[in-house]
Amino acid sequence: MSGFPQPFSGKVALVTGAAGNIGLATANRLATMGADLVLLDLDPEKLEQARAALGEHDVRIHVHTCDVADSAQVHEVIDRVAAETGQIDFLFNNAGYQGAFAPVQDYPEADFTRVMHINVCGAFHVLKHVSRHMVARRYGRIVNTASMAGVQGPPNMAAYGASKFAIIGLTEVAAKDLAPYNIRVNAISPAFMGPGMMWDRQVALQARAGSQYFSSNPDEVARQMIGSIPMRRYGNIEEIPGVVAFLFGDDSSYMTGVNLPISGGI
Protein backbone atom coordinates (compact mmCIF):
# COMPACT_ATOMS: atom_id res chain seq x y z
CA MET A 1 0.00 0.00 0.00
CA SER A 2 1.15 3.54 -0.75
CA GLY A 3 1.38 6.45 1.62
CA PHE A 4 -1.07 8.57 -0.40
CA PRO A 5 -3.93 10.21 1.50
CA GLN A 6 -7.32 8.65 0.69
CA PRO A 7 -9.75 11.51 -0.06
CA PHE A 8 -11.72 9.27 -2.44
CA SER A 9 -12.61 6.63 0.13
CA GLY A 10 -16.27 5.71 -0.33
CA LYS A 11 -16.28 6.84 -3.97
CA VAL A 12 -16.66 4.64 -7.05
CA ALA A 13 -14.61 5.49 -10.15
CA LEU A 14 -15.43 4.05 -13.57
CA VAL A 15 -12.52 3.96 -16.05
CA THR A 16 -12.94 3.11 -19.73
CA GLY A 17 -9.96 1.94 -21.74
CA ALA A 18 -8.82 0.67 -18.36
CA ALA A 19 -6.39 -1.93 -19.71
CA GLY A 20 -4.38 0.65 -21.66
CA ASN A 21 -1.44 2.57 -20.29
CA ILE A 22 -3.27 5.77 -19.39
CA GLY A 23 -6.36 4.00 -18.08
CA LEU A 24 -4.42 1.60 -15.89
CA ALA A 25 -2.08 4.27 -14.51
CA THR A 26 -5.06 6.46 -13.63
CA ALA A 27 -6.98 3.59 -12.06
CA ASN A 28 -3.92 2.87 -9.93
CA ARG A 29 -3.75 6.49 -8.73
CA LEU A 30 -7.47 6.55 -7.88
CA ALA A 31 -7.11 3.30 -5.94
CA THR A 32 -4.22 4.72 -3.92
CA MET A 33 -6.60 7.57 -3.03
CA GLY A 34 -9.22 5.11 -1.78
CA ALA A 35 -11.67 4.89 -4.68
CA ASP A 36 -13.33 1.61 -5.55
CA LEU A 37 -12.85 0.84 -9.24
CA VAL A 38 -14.94 -0.25 -12.19
CA LEU A 39 -12.70 -1.16 -15.13
CA LEU A 40 -14.13 -1.30 -18.65
CA ASP A 41 -12.25 -2.43 -21.72
CA LEU A 42 -12.77 -4.45 -24.88
CA ASP A 43 -10.13 -7.12 -24.15
CA PRO A 44 -11.12 -9.54 -21.34
CA GLU A 45 -7.61 -10.96 -20.95
CA LYS A 46 -6.03 -7.54 -20.55
CA LEU A 47 -8.80 -6.55 -18.14
CA GLU A 48 -7.92 -9.46 -15.89
CA GLN A 49 -4.26 -8.48 -16.09
CA ALA A 50 -5.26 -4.95 -15.05
CA ARG A 51 -7.27 -6.32 -12.13
CA ALA A 52 -4.28 -8.37 -11.02
CA ALA A 53 -1.94 -5.37 -11.33
CA LEU A 54 -4.24 -3.37 -9.05
CA GLY A 55 -4.76 -6.17 -6.56
CA GLU A 56 -2.37 -4.72 -3.97
CA HIS A 57 -4.88 -1.99 -3.16
CA ASP A 58 -7.49 -2.47 -0.48
CA VAL A 59 -10.40 -1.41 -2.70
CA ARG A 60 -13.18 -3.22 -4.52
CA ILE A 61 -12.46 -3.80 -8.22
CA HIS A 62 -15.17 -4.69 -10.75
CA VAL A 63 -14.29 -5.52 -14.37
CA HIS A 64 -16.58 -5.59 -17.40
CA THR A 65 -15.82 -6.13 -21.06
CA CYS A 66 -17.54 -3.47 -23.10
CA ASP A 67 -17.43 -2.12 -26.65
CA VAL A 68 -18.06 1.59 -26.09
CA ALA A 69 -19.06 2.01 -29.74
CA ASP A 70 -22.12 -0.21 -29.08
CA SER A 71 -24.70 1.98 -27.33
CA ALA A 72 -26.95 -0.91 -26.28
CA GLN A 73 -24.02 -2.75 -24.74
CA VAL A 74 -22.87 0.37 -22.91
CA HIS A 75 -26.38 0.94 -21.57
CA GLU A 76 -26.58 -2.64 -20.28
CA VAL A 77 -23.12 -2.60 -18.68
CA ILE A 78 -23.57 0.80 -17.00
CA ASP A 79 -26.93 -0.24 -15.54
CA ARG A 80 -25.30 -3.43 -14.24
CA VAL A 81 -22.44 -1.45 -12.72
CA ALA A 82 -24.84 0.95 -11.01
CA ALA A 83 -26.77 -2.00 -9.57
CA GLU A 84 -23.56 -3.67 -8.35
CA THR A 85 -21.98 -0.62 -6.78
CA GLY A 86 -25.00 1.51 -5.89
CA GLN A 87 -23.23 4.60 -7.24
CA ILE A 88 -20.91 5.97 -9.89
CA ASP A 89 -19.14 9.06 -8.55
CA PHE A 90 -16.31 9.50 -11.05
CA LEU A 91 -16.05 8.73 -14.76
CA PHE A 92 -12.71 8.73 -16.57
CA ASN A 93 -14.03 8.55 -20.15
CA ASN A 94 -10.80 7.42 -21.70
CA ALA A 95 -11.30 4.66 -24.30
CA GLY A 96 -9.96 5.58 -27.70
CA TYR A 97 -8.26 4.56 -30.94
CA GLN A 98 -5.48 6.51 -32.66
CA GLY A 99 -6.27 5.43 -36.21
CA ALA A 100 -4.28 5.58 -39.41
CA PHE A 101 -1.70 8.16 -40.48
CA ALA A 102 -2.20 9.60 -43.98
CA PRO A 103 -2.79 12.99 -45.60
CA VAL A 104 -6.46 13.90 -45.72
CA GLN A 105 -6.76 13.31 -49.47
CA ASP A 106 -5.59 9.71 -49.00
CA TYR A 107 -7.09 8.98 -45.58
CA PRO A 108 -8.95 5.62 -45.57
CA GLU A 109 -12.67 6.22 -45.15
CA ALA A 110 -13.30 3.02 -43.23
CA ASP A 111 -10.70 3.97 -40.66
CA PHE A 112 -12.13 7.49 -40.34
CA THR A 113 -15.51 5.94 -39.53
CA ARG A 114 -13.96 3.53 -37.04
CA VAL A 115 -12.12 6.32 -35.19
CA MET A 116 -15.32 8.38 -34.98
CA HIS A 117 -17.37 5.42 -33.73
CA ILE A 118 -14.90 4.66 -30.94
CA ASN A 119 -13.60 8.09 -29.96
CA VAL A 120 -16.71 10.23 -30.40
CA CYS A 121 -19.75 7.96 -30.40
CA GLY A 122 -18.15 5.72 -27.77
CA ALA A 123 -17.35 8.63 -25.47
CA PHE A 124 -20.87 9.98 -25.95
CA HIS A 125 -22.49 6.61 -25.17
CA VAL A 126 -20.56 6.27 -21.91
CA LEU A 127 -21.13 9.91 -20.95
CA LYS A 128 -24.87 9.67 -21.66
CA HIS A 129 -25.52 6.48 -19.73
CA VAL A 130 -23.27 7.27 -16.76
CA SER A 131 -24.63 10.81 -16.46
CA ARG A 132 -28.18 9.47 -16.21
CA HIS A 133 -27.22 7.74 -12.96
CA MET A 134 -25.28 10.78 -11.76
CA VAL A 135 -28.27 13.06 -12.43
CA ALA A 136 -30.48 10.81 -10.31
CA ARG A 137 -28.01 11.20 -7.40
CA ARG A 138 -27.27 14.87 -8.19
CA TYR A 139 -23.55 14.25 -7.99
CA GLY A 140 -20.78 13.36 -10.42
CA ARG A 141 -17.32 14.20 -11.68
CA ILE A 142 -16.41 13.40 -15.30
CA VAL A 143 -13.08 13.69 -17.11
CA ASN A 144 -12.95 13.04 -20.85
CA THR A 145 -9.68 12.18 -22.55
CA ALA A 146 -9.17 14.63 -25.40
CA SER A 147 -5.72 15.38 -26.88
CA MET A 148 -3.53 18.22 -28.05
CA ALA A 149 -4.47 16.81 -31.48
CA GLY A 150 -7.88 18.35 -30.74
CA VAL A 151 -6.34 21.73 -29.87
CA GLN A 152 -3.85 22.07 -32.73
CA GLY A 153 -4.70 19.72 -35.58
CA PRO A 154 -1.71 17.51 -36.46
CA PRO A 155 -0.77 16.55 -40.00
CA ASN A 156 -1.74 13.09 -41.29
CA MET A 157 -4.26 12.46 -38.47
CA ALA A 158 -7.58 13.67 -39.89
CA ALA A 159 -9.75 11.21 -37.98
CA TYR A 160 -7.99 11.36 -34.63
CA GLY A 161 -7.65 15.14 -34.70
CA ALA A 162 -11.29 15.64 -35.65
CA SER A 163 -12.43 13.18 -32.99
CA LYS A 164 -10.54 14.97 -30.24
CA PHE A 165 -11.81 18.40 -31.33
CA ALA A 166 -15.26 16.81 -30.95
CA ILE A 167 -14.45 15.57 -27.44
CA ILE A 168 -13.51 19.07 -26.33
CA GLY A 169 -16.79 20.40 -27.74
CA LEU A 170 -18.76 17.57 -26.12
CA THR A 171 -17.10 18.39 -22.81
CA GLU A 172 -18.15 22.03 -23.02
CA VAL A 173 -21.75 21.16 -23.92
CA ALA A 174 -22.08 18.45 -21.27
CA ALA A 175 -20.63 20.77 -18.62
CA LYS A 176 -23.48 23.20 -19.24
CA ASP A 177 -26.17 20.53 -19.43
CA LEU A 178 -25.07 18.79 -16.23
CA ALA A 179 -24.07 21.76 -14.06
CA PRO A 180 -27.59 22.05 -12.54
CA TYR A 181 -27.17 18.53 -11.11
CA ASN A 182 -23.85 19.12 -9.30
CA ILE A 183 -21.99 17.26 -12.04
CA ARG A 184 -18.71 18.72 -13.31
CA VAL A 185 -17.35 17.76 -16.72
CA ASN A 186 -13.79 18.53 -17.77
CA ALA A 187 -11.23 17.21 -20.24
CA ILE A 188 -7.51 16.56 -20.41
CA SER A 189 -5.36 16.93 -23.52
CA PRO A 190 -2.10 14.98 -23.39
CA ALA A 191 0.48 15.69 -26.05
CA PHE A 192 3.43 13.41 -26.88
CA MET A 193 3.63 10.68 -24.23
CA GLY A 194 6.31 8.03 -23.98
CA PRO A 195 8.15 5.81 -23.97
CA GLY A 196 6.11 2.87 -25.17
CA MET A 197 4.05 1.46 -27.99
CA MET A 198 1.97 4.57 -28.70
CA TRP A 199 5.04 6.80 -28.96
CA ASP A 200 6.86 4.31 -31.19
CA ARG A 201 3.77 3.83 -33.37
CA GLN A 202 3.24 7.55 -33.88
CA VAL A 203 6.89 8.17 -34.73
CA ALA A 204 7.00 5.28 -37.21
CA LEU A 205 3.71 6.13 -38.91
CA GLN A 206 4.46 9.86 -39.24
CA ALA A 207 7.77 8.92 -40.87
CA ARG A 208 5.99 6.55 -43.24
CA ALA A 209 3.15 8.96 -44.11
CA GLY A 210 5.47 11.42 -45.83
CA SER A 211 4.93 15.15 -45.39
CA GLN A 212 6.82 18.43 -45.25
CA TYR A 213 6.41 18.39 -41.48
CA PHE A 214 8.39 15.26 -40.60
CA SER A 215 11.39 13.35 -41.88
CA SER A 216 11.05 9.89 -43.40
CA ASN A 217 13.58 8.70 -40.79
CA PRO A 218 11.82 7.63 -37.57
CA ASP A 219 14.79 8.63 -35.41
CA GLU A 220 14.69 12.12 -36.88
CA VAL A 221 10.89 12.27 -36.44
CA ALA A 222 11.36 11.56 -32.73
CA ARG A 223 13.87 14.42 -32.50
CA GLN A 224 11.53 16.74 -34.42
CA MET A 225 8.61 15.94 -32.14
CA ILE A 226 10.61 16.51 -28.99
CA GLY A 227 12.07 19.68 -30.51
CA SER A 228 8.53 21.06 -30.84
CA ILE A 229 7.99 20.81 -27.08
CA PRO A 230 9.17 23.79 -25.01
CA MET A 231 10.20 21.45 -22.17
CA ARG A 232 12.20 19.40 -24.73
CA ARG A 233 10.97 15.99 -23.57
CA TYR A 234 7.92 13.82 -24.03
CA GLY A 235 5.58 13.37 -21.12
CA ASN A 236 5.49 10.30 -18.95
CA ILE A 237 2.21 8.39 -18.62
CA GLU A 238 2.51 8.84 -14.86
CA GLU A 239 2.16 12.60 -15.33
CA ILE A 240 -1.49 12.17 -16.37
CA PRO A 241 -3.24 10.49 -13.38
CA GLY A 242 -2.59 13.33 -10.94
CA VAL A 243 -4.33 15.79 -13.27
CA VAL A 244 -7.36 13.50 -13.52
CA ALA A 245 -7.43 13.11 -9.73
CA PHE A 246 -7.26 16.90 -9.36
CA LEU A 247 -10.29 17.30 -11.63
CA PHE A 248 -12.21 14.70 -9.61
CA GLY A 249 -11.27 16.28 -6.28
CA ASP A 250 -12.45 19.22 -4.23
CA ASP A 251 -9.48 21.42 -5.21
CA SER A 252 -11.13 21.88 -8.63
CA SER A 253 -14.61 22.47 -7.20
CA TYR A 254 -15.25 25.62 -9.29
CA MET A 255 -13.97 24.16 -12.58
CA THR A 256 -16.23 22.72 -15.26
CA GLY A 257 -16.11 22.78 -19.04
CA VAL A 258 -12.32 23.11 -18.92
CA ASN A 259 -9.76 21.35 -21.12
CA LEU A 260 -6.38 21.03 -19.39
CA PRO A 261 -3.35 20.52 -21.66
CA ILE A 262 -0.70 18.07 -20.45
CA SER A 263 1.74 19.11 -23.10
CA GLY A 264 5.10 20.35 -21.85
CA GLY A 265 4.14 23.83 -23.02
CA ILE A 266 2.93 23.14 -26.58
Q: Which residues are catalytic?
A: 160
Q: Distance of alpha carbon 48 from its chain centroid, rounded?
A: 19
The distance in angstroms from the start CA to the end CA of the chain is: 35
Measuring CA to CA, which residue among 124, 89, 135 is closest to residue 249? 89
Report d(CA 148, CA 73) in Å as an integer.
30
Q: What is the largest CA-CA distance in the chain?
A: 54
Is residue 131 within 8 A of residue 235, CB to CB? The reply is no
Report d(CA 183, CA 127) in Å as an integer.
12
Contacts of residue 171, defined as CB under 8 A and 6 or more positions apart, other chains included, come to: 144, 146, 185, 186, 187, 257, 259
The alpha carbon dihedral of 42, 47, 50, 51 has a sign of positive
Report d(CA 26, CA 139) in Å as an integer.
21
Instruction: Say if residue 11 is exposed, middle or buried (CB neighbours under 10 Å; 0-12, 13-18, 19+).
Output: buried
Task: Look at residue 5 and give its three-state secondary structure.
Answer: coil
